[in-house]
Structure 1
Amino acid sequence: MSDDLHDFFNADESWDDGAEPAAMPPAPPHSRREMRRQRAMRKRRNLIICIIVVIALALISVGGVFAYRAARNWRRTNMAHESLVEDYPGPGDTDVAFTVKQGEGIMEVGANLVQQQIVKSADTFATYVSSNDKTLYPGTYALKTHMKASQAADILSDQGNAKGFAEVRQGERVSTVIERICADNDIDKTRFEAIVNNRDEASKILPAEANGNFEGWLEPGTYTVGDVATAPERLLKEMVDARIRKLDEMGVPQGAERERMLIIASIVEAEVNSSDYYSKVSRVIYNRLDKDMTLGMDSTVAYGASINGMQLTNDQLQDTSNPYNTRVNRGLPPTPISNPGDDAIEAAMHPADGNWLYFVTTDLKTGETKFADTDEQFQQLVQEYRRNNPDAN
């Protein structure tokens, strides 16, 4: 019956009103097999579309990366080219002192050069330094205004041109430190001595327990001299402040005990040339103090005589007027005899366990040092010293 109706409507032209036929949905499949086939085709078509989209996106991404890199390289090249154009012709005009501080980077140095009108562009300066693998060294340099960036970089990367350093080496006396600073930086030594030898001036910088004496209170390290006009007072304050911070960090007791630790540490460092022996020498000092013995340290006698230990004479070793002569005077000397380093200070605070009362460096070439509990053992070590060092007798 349904087929007859279908044929009837298809054949009846009276339904045609002359308008365009409306779009009709596709006829449904005549079987389930056909429906499955169409679904499968749609899935394949959708999969193909997804694959095409993924490939297209990947190509776009890769192309974007290459485009970005190309643009970045072009920009760098263009900036380098532009920066190289920004340069003074050189060789320069007015003499000027320029300081590179510890820890400053290339661009920071370049900016400071521009500020002092030494170079025209920080970028030009940085480009030259980087492309030529140069290292900038701290210090004060003699430059000129309106220099070529390459000329300034060449000077700042030669450590031999650097001045403006103040160095404190562990185990050195204050007098030695000052002499080197003044010689390296053309500073009049009397300007330091006016502070170091004046207790009122010294007390403005030193803690009370130092009793106006700088010995032992300069922290080993490197400092920037900067303005020579203000260098003596400023440098001494920086060195002392650095020493106080370090002693606090190490847990060294404050007050009079702190000065005592520095005295013992300075003797320890002056007596032997290896930190391997520091804690044992420290124990010898404590043991002799406990027994009310003289310390008998040649290093303290030499300090009081303002000479080194190899210059000592028998008369100087017996000089009772020397307050640092621990061969004749009991107890510790009045002040430290040098600026000791961390290892010696640790040894002063934490001496080794032992009953030693003597020590002898039995071999001056190797620095080998041996320790003794009794006078007899000590005399044996003295004989060993004489056998090993015939030229020193």
Structure 2
Amino acid sequence: MTNPVPPGASDPARDTERPPLTRREAREREAREREARGDDAQDRESRDTRAPGRETRGRSEIDGGPDLEQTFWGSLGGDRETEERAASGARRRPAPQAWSTLDYPTEGRESRPKKEKPKRRWLTATIVTVVILALLGGAGVYVWNAFQPEVRKLLAMNEPNDYTGTGTSPVTITIHDGDNGSDIAATLAKAGVVKTSDAFYALLLHTKPDPVFQPGVYRLKKQMSAKSALSALQDPKNKLQRTLTIPEGDTEAEILPALAKTTGVPLADLQAAAKPADFGLPAQAPNLEGFLFPATYTFDPGVDAKTVVKTLVDRSFQSLDQAGVPADKRYSTVVLASIVQKEAGSVDDMGKVARVFQNRLDQGMPLQSDATVAYGAGVKTVFTTDAQREDAGNPYNTYAHDGLPVGPISNPGDDAIKAALNPTPGPWLYFVTVDLKNGTTVFSETAEQHEQAVQQLQDWCNASAENDAYCQ
């Protein structure tokens, strides 16, 4: 069968069967057309320098496939040939290149300008930021310290200011002499008894009659309602009392051990603190005898020795001032009152006993008090011996020495002080208690009357073993 297409002529059927152009092929065709329009002579020269047979390659000579240059692999091959021509200088004027997605420019990379390294501006920015934060932090601290109470109050506005219930764990608080309601409220809040001082103080203001608080140490509980705390403070059972009653006529040697036992303060500490000069006693006072006032005392836990002693001495000065004793007669009044306190059989007889001693002093007679002899001799007896009464080495021996002894022999109470300051008027120079059980005393103006009264006492002592026990 003859070929309908003459040799050398194009086959229309085959031309129509060519696949559509790729993007790369279209760009290359467009570039060639621009070149053709721009410079035909140069284009011809460029075509002449191409490898022989390059233009006639339309399809594969083996399988009659499409032109290799118009395929994907042909494009790669074409690129390599183009690069070879550029390296050999065969191409005089490079055609504009349009890079496809598979072509990456490799020429001239080394000639690109290098980017300058960024300056370390971050360091300056960091320093500035830190400084600003420090200033803001310092300002915040100042504002918090300045307005903390107000801020806390605002935050706690909606919170209750009082506990409920009767409390939890035990705690002790101290109410000092002179504390007012505000002071007590602050003490309770600080100890954790009430939640706020305002809650307790507001309760006080609305409580009628006004509550009265006694100084001292109280055992309460933490987290008590204001009402429960107030009730507890009004209950004497919650007051920790270390109470001691000192009888009239007791001596310092008896009082200090009793104080030590009650307060828990060591006796040695009390004895060391008992210095007359430290408490305003006259210079001639050999000790605190006579100025440890007999009364009932309550001491707080933890009290110190000097406070204990000062409490008794201050109470003695108070009694002397209330009785109207002049400051320059305090010592002599206390000395006489101490003898009256020991010798009188009853409070009713104190004025007469004081009169007897005062009359003797006025007439220059020795006092002849067995109580002073026994005190100086360190014995506790009603009667003294002849030897004791003759002992002039005893400075308290009023048989051997005229006038008042060198110091008090006991601690007198209010009645004895009043009797010594204002003795009952009368001529008596002698007295003797004839019934030691009930204190009956006989006062005499003469020695003979007094001898008869002394015999009456001896008879009473011999009347029974019971009576004789009082006469030892």
1:280 is displaced (CA, Å) by 0.9
Cα distance change, pair 110–313 in 1 and its aligned pair in 2 (3 A): farther
Moved more, 214-223 or 108-117: 108-117
Residue 116 in structure 1 maps to residue 116 in structure 2: no
Alignment-derived partner of residue 211 in structure 1: 285
Alignment-derived partner of residue 86 in structure 1: 163
Residue 98 in structure 1 maps to residue 173 in structure 2: yes
1:266 is displaced (CA, Å) by 0.9
- Cα separation, 1, equivalents of 2:332 and 2:188: 47
Partner-residue secondary structure (3-state), 1:309: coil
- Cα separation, 2, equivalents of 1:175 and 1:247: 22
- Cα separation, 2, equivalents of 1:328 and 1:183: 38
Alignment-derived partner of residue 237 in structure 1: 310
- Cα separation, 1, equivalents of 2:423 and 2:343: 15
Q: For the Cα contact (< 8 Å) 1:119–1:125, is it kept in 2? A: no
- State how 1:162-173 maps to structure 2 within 5 Å: 162-165=240-243, 168-173=246-251
1:357 is displaced (CA, Å) by 1.6
Cα distance change, pair 178–114 in 1 and its aligned pair in 2 (3 A): farther
Q: For the Cα contact (< 8 Å) 1:289–1:295, is it kept in 2? A: yes
Q: For the Cα contact (< 8 Å) 1:110–1:125, is it kept in 2? A: no
- State how 1:11-22 maps to structure 2 within 5 Å: none
Q: For the Cα contact (< 8 Å) 2:245–2:296, is it kept in 1? A: yes
Alignment-derived partner of residue 66 in structure 1: none
Please, which of 189, 192, 195 is the counterpart of residue 270 of structure 2? Answer: 192
Q: For the Cα contact (< 8 Å) 2:217–2:301, is it kept in 1? A: no
Query: Structure 2 stretches of 5 or more lacking a match?
Result: 1-159
Cα distance change, pair 144–182 in 1 and its aligned pair in 2 (3 A): farther
More helix by share: 1
- Cα separation, 1, equivalents of 2:254 and 2:281: 22
Please, which of 163, 166, 178 is the counterpart of residue 256 of structure 2? Answer: 178
Please, which of 402, 412, 416 is the counterpart of residue 344 of structure 1? Answer: 416
Moved more, 246-255 or 342-351: 246-255
1:240 is displaced (CA, Å) by 2.9
- Cα separation, 1, equivalents of 2:238 and 2:259: 16
Cα distance change, pair 90–159 in 1 and its aligned pair in 2 (3 A): closer
- State how 1:325-336 maps to structure 2 within 5 Å: 325-336=397-408
Give the AA of the match of 2:252. Answer: V
Partner-residue secondary structure (3-state), 1:370: strand
Structure with larger RCO (C-alpha < 8 A, sep 6+) = 1
Partner-residue secondary structure (3-state), 2:279: coil
Cα distance change, pair 98–224 in 1 and its aligned pair in 2 (3 A): farther
- Cα separation, 1, equivalents of 2:203 and 2:265: 31
Q: For the Cα contact (< 8 Å) 2:345–2:441, is it kept in 1? A: no
Cα distance change, pair 291–311 in 1 and its aligned pair in 2 (3 A): closer
Residue 378 in structure 1 maps to residue 453 in structure 2: no
Kindly tell me the number of residue pairs found equivalent between the two proteins: 300
Cα distance change, pair 233–311 in 1 and its aligned pair in 2 (3 A): farther
- Cα separation, 2, equivalents of 1:315 and 1:99: 55
Q: Deviations over 1:351-390 (max 9, x none)?
A: 2222212111112222111101112111211222233343
- Cα separation, 2, equivalents of 1:338 and 1:124: 50
When Rg is computed on C-alpha atoms for both structures, the one with the higher figure is 2
Moved more, 96-105 or 172-181: 96-105
- Cα separation, 2, equivalents of 1:297 and 1:310: 10
Cα distance change, pair 292–135 in 1 and its aligned pair in 2 (3 A): same
Residue 266 in structure 1 maps to residue 338 in structure 2: yes
Q: For the Cα contact (< 8 Å) 1:163–1:185, is it kept in 2? A: no
1:193 is displaced (CA, Å) by 0.6
Partner-residue secondary structure (3-state), 1:99: strand
- Cα separation, 2, equivalents of 1:353 and 1:143: 56
1:235 is displaced (CA, Å) by 3.4
- Cα separation, 1, equivalents of 2:172 and 2:390: 52
Cα distance change, pair 242–147 in 1 and its aligned pair in 2 (3 A): same
1:271 is displaced (CA, Å) by 0.9
Q: For the Cα contact (< 8 Å) 1:280–1:351, is it kept in 2? A: yes
Partner-residue secondary structure (3-state), 2:367: coil
1:150 is displaced (CA, Å) by 5.5
1:284 is displaced (CA, Å) by 1.0
Query: Structure 1 stretches of 5 or more lacking a match?
Result: 1-81
Q: For the Cα contact (< 8 Å) 2:240–2:300, is it kept in 1? A: no
Moved more, 245-254 or 186-195: 245-254
Cα distance change, pair 194–386 in 1 and its aligned pair in 2 (3 A): same
- Cα separation, 1, equivalents of 2:380 and 2:458: 21
- Cα separation, 2, equivalents of 1:119 and 1:316: 65
- State how 1:1-393 maps to structure 2 within 5 Å: 86-87=163-164, 90-92=167-169, 96-100=171-175, 112-120=187-195, 122=200, 139-143=216-220, 145-146=222-223, 157-159=235-237, 162-165=240-243, 168-196=246-274, 201-209=275-283, 211=285, 213-226=287-300, 228=302, 231-255=304-328, 257-310=329-382, 316-389=388-461, 390=463, 391-392=467-468
- Cα separation, 2, equivalents of 1:313 and 1:90: 65
1:260 is displaced (CA, Å) by 1.1
Moved more, 211-220 or 140-149: 140-149
Cα distance change, pair 310–370 in 1 and its aligned pair in 2 (3 A): closer
Q: For the Cα contact (< 8 Å) 2:218–2:238, is it kept in 1? A: no
Cα distance change, pair 317–144 in 1 and its aligned pair in 2 (3 A): farther
* Alpha-carbon RMSD: 4.0
Cα distance change, pair 335–344 in 1 and its aligned pair in 2 (3 A): same
Q: For the Cα contact (< 8 Å) 1:102–1:138, is it kept in 2? A: yes
Give the AA of the match of 2:326. Answer: P
Over the matched positions of the two proteins, sequence identity in percent amounts to 34
